[in-house]
Amino acid sequence: MSSIVQKSTTKIIINESTGKRIIEQSRLRMLCVGFFFVLCFASISVRMVEVAVIKNPQALTVTIFDPDNEGESEQVEVKTEESHLQRGNIVDRNGVLLATSLMTASVYANPKEIRNAADVARKISKILSIDAKTLLNRLKGKKSFVWIKRNLTPKEQYKVNSLGIPGLYFQPEEKRVYPYGNVLSHMLGYVGVDNKGLAGIERQFDRRLRETTLNNEPLTLSVDARLQSMLRSEMANAVSEYNAIGATGIVMEIDSGEILSMVSLPDFDPNKPAKVSDDSKFNRATLGLYEMGSTFKSFTMAAGLEYGVVNMKSGYDATNSFKVATFTISDSHGKKRWLTVPEIYAYSSNIGTAKMALDIGAKQQKEFLKKMGMFKPIDIEIPEKANPQFPQEWKEINTVTISYGHGISVTPLHLVQGIATLVNGGMHERLTLLKDGNKGKEAKERVISEQTSKNIRRLMRLVVDHGTGGKADVAGYRVGGKTGTAEKVQTGGRYNPDAKIASFVSVFPVDSPKYLVLVMIDEPKGDKSTYGFATGGWIAAPVVGRVIARMGPMMGIKPRYDVPEDDAEKFWVHREKDEKAKVQAAYASLFVDKKYVSY
């Protein structure tokens, strides 16, 4: 009996020991499994943070068909890197939205999963307004990924999703939107299918705009959307009225160097860049190289005054044409008499300007134009910039023709920067497309004296008061400026008298210039209203006058009617017959050496 009890007790002890061991093993296993799951969830969490916040790796890289691009067979590579981050906004100087990004959905298909391609193509084509036959060909292909349509509207997405068709999928994407359409196209530029900047500000600040969303700070431009819309409207009307092939317009704040408006016509819709012609994408303001014509006389006049070659009381004999080498220098509508320096500028005399340039000399002329920045691209925040064209061998004839704007080609921005330097007290200011873009930059460089700058302003006012720019005058705003008419060079190197650049560059109020306005019309055709003339005075000056008349109140500039005319008037020749002979005789006595031979 005792042996039986002992065996039973031993068995119970063994069972208890085994049970404890099994329980401990189970606990250990549970701990291991739990630790394993903790590690898994921790790894997943770290990876999610790494993907979403830190590295943001590429989610998808495939070769696809893009139906929004021109050419039905074009293959493009799309990357969804940083697809969850929206590109930063661009605003004007007043905070008006110029460019933004919207999250949209694009629909694509896996043809291998499509059961009835014909039926799917029929239904989808009606909703998305695309060609059913073309879509069917894509769905019958052997690829596993084809785009059907990019950037659907919410309504389109809802209707497609409601069909419940297997094999159709939505891809979240970002669409760049330009609320002003064509109005700022050349300045803003556009983005590509991967949402990277391809032109204009979008390209110049591509990296900054991609990083902007991290701190939610928009890119603020110097442009004023109100001025841009108004200037474009006036120029478009002029292009239409005079049957021109294009135009350029620029408004600048003189003291800061900030560009308030920059228009190039023809323009394009940056919302649909793939369907735009190369001519429309060409930015005439920054890439167009033109012989500027008589607006360049401003630099010759400034150089003559700065180097002491002439003063406001000087003059030249412009009675007859004269020759340099084999070229005859003449005036289109000459006065056929001695002209004072103010008259040479106001009447835009080629003869008087050329003779002054010869007195200045080639060396000083080149030196002056170099200081004005005419031999290098403009330093401004836009990638599309052109190199000026000028003669490498600077002969006497080059000195003459360049003095009145032929034989050297620069962009409209070069002219704007140069004229601003002449009227702002003589300081060379960098141009900028950013609000406060020149704050903290290097100090301005003096190019001419304050006295020379003052005299140029006086001369520019005389152009509007008595000369070729009268149609730009606006009561109360004291406009000063200079006309320019240049024949374009055609194939073979000859000038085409029927293809002109008509321009007018102006500043106002001229006594203390605050704004500069340039308008250039490319190949205008004169009509009855201009008596057949296609010149800067008849074509461009009136446009500038209308722009200033609308711009002044918009910018809060009160017109003034009590300002006396500048004393430059005293150097103006009285045209009465009894005074004319006395003036000619007086100036003739200053040129007894007869340096220039008339023909």
Tell me the average pLDDT across 346-363: 96
Compute CA distances 305 → 190, 451, 538, 571, whole Å: 45, 9, 29, 15
Continuous segment of H or E residues that includes residue 301: helix 297-306
Backbone phi and psi for residue 551, each to the nearest 5 degrees, phi listed first: -75, -40
Is the pLDDT assigned to residue 580 strictly greater than 70? no
Question: pLDDT band at 528, cuts 50/70/90?
Answer: confident
**Residue 142: band (very low, low, confident or very high) from pLDDT cuts 50, 70, 90:** confident
Examine the pLDDT at 382 and tell me if it is beyond 60. yes
- Most confident by average pLDDT, 334-343, 450-459, 588-597: 450-459
User: Of 206, 256, 187, whose CA–CA distance to 87 is shortest?
Assistant: 206
pLDDT confidence of residue 567: 57
Of 92-101, 116-125, 222-231, the poorest mean pLDDT is in 116-125
Amino acid identity of 118?
A
Is the pLDDT at 4 greater than 60, yes or no?
no
- Residue 493: its pLDDT value, please? 76
- Res. 392: pLDDT tops 50: yes
Find the mean pLDDT for residues 147-166. 91
Reported as a single tens digit per residue, the pLDDT across 449-465 is 999 999 999 999 999 99
Which residue in this structure is represented by tokens 């006395």? 582
Q: Which of 332, 495, 296 is nearest to 405 (CA)?
A: 296
- Over the Cα atoms of the chain, what is R_g? 36
pLDDT score of 578 more than 50: no
Of residues 232 and 561, the one with the higher pLDDT is 232
Is pLDDT at 62 greater than 50 in this prediction? no
Q: In the structure, what pLDDT confidence band is assigned to residue 490 with cuts at 50, 70 and 90?
A: confident
Mean pLDDT within 518-533: 92
Of 105-109, 233-237, 432-436, the one with minimum mean pLDDT is 105-109
What distance separates the 2 farthest-apart alpha carbons in the chain? 163
Per-domain residue ranges of the chain = 62-220, 228-267+284-591
The model's confidence at residue 72, banded by pLDDT at 50, 70 and 90, is very low
Mean pLDDT of 402-425: 97
Pick from 262, 260, 253, 258: which is nearest to 288 by CA?
262
**Contact (CB, 8 A) for 339 and 285:** no
Contacts of 192 (CB under 8 A, 6+ apart): 198
| Alpha-carbon span 512 to 137, nearest angstrom | 68
Q: Please tell me the least confidently modeled range out of 8-22, 63-77, 156-170, 230-244.
A: 63-77
Q: Which residues does the annotation mark as catalytic? A: 294
pLDDT-derived band at 59 (thresholds 50, 70, 90) equals very low
CATH code at 62-220: 3.90.1310.10
Instruction: Mention every residue, 6+ apart, whose C-beta is less than 8 A from residue 573.
Output: 339, 340, 343, 579, 580, 583
What per-residue confidence (pLDDT) applies to 69?
40
Average pLDDT over the chain, rounded to whole?
85
Q: Write down the pLDDT at residue 573.
A: 54
- Mean pLDDT across 228-251: 97
The confidence score (pLDDT) of residue 127 equals 93
- Predicted TM-score (pTM) of this structure: 0.80
pLDDT value for 405: 95
Token couple for 359: 């007195």
Work out the percent of the chain whose per-residue pLDDT is above 90: 63
Identify the pLDDT of residue 25: 72
- Taking the C-alpha atoms of residue 481 and residue 465, their distance in angstroms, rounded to an integer, is 10
In this predicted structure, the answer to whether residue 16 has a pLDDT above a threshold of 80 is: no
CB 530 within 8 A of CB 497: no
- Stretch 478-495: mean pLDDT, rounded? 90
Nearest CA-CA partner of 136 in 117, 123, 112: 117
Rounded to 5 degrees, what are φ and ψ at 337? -165, 180
Q: What is the pLDDT of residue 216?
A: 74
Separation of alpha carbons 386 and 501, rounded Å: 18
Q: Which residues contact 222 (CB under 8 A, 6 or more apart)?
A: 93, 253, 256, 258, 259, 260, 432, 433, 434, 435, 437
Q: How far is CA 484 from the centre of its chain?
A: 22
Using the predicted structure, report yes or no on whether residue 43 has a pLDDT greater than 90.
Answer: no
Is residue 203's pLDDT more than 80? yes
Among the residue ranges 32-46, 49-63, 519-533, the one predicted with the least confidence is: 49-63
pLDDT, position 213: 58
Strand 90-91 versus strand 219-220 pairing type: parallel
Average pLDDT over residues 247-275: 96
Strand partners, 248: 264, 520
Bridge partners of 317, per DSSP, are 338
CATH of domain 228-267+284-591: 3.40.710.10
Q: Indicate if the pLDDT at residue 140 is higher than 90.
A: no
